[in-house]
Amino acid sequence: MALSDPIELKDDEARKFLRDLEHPVHSDKRAMMLKKAAEAAEWLKEK
């Protein structure tokens, strides 16, 4: 493959890797909030 060839994204992991390269902070924030969301569903229950 020549250096100029486009990168073919074959799976979600590859796409996530490229997204993290492009938007590392944003990706971290999303991951943090998704983790917190899983906790919130239980933590904020009234009963």
Contact set with another protein (CB under 8 A): 9, 12, 15-16, 18-19, 26, 29-34, 36-41, 43-46
Of 3 and 45, the one with the shorter C-beta distance to another protein is: 45
Of 5 and 12, the one with the shorter C-beta distance to another protein is: 12
Of 5 and 13, the one with the shorter C-beta distance to another protein is: 13
C-alpha–C-alpha distance, residues 12 and 3, integer Å? 22
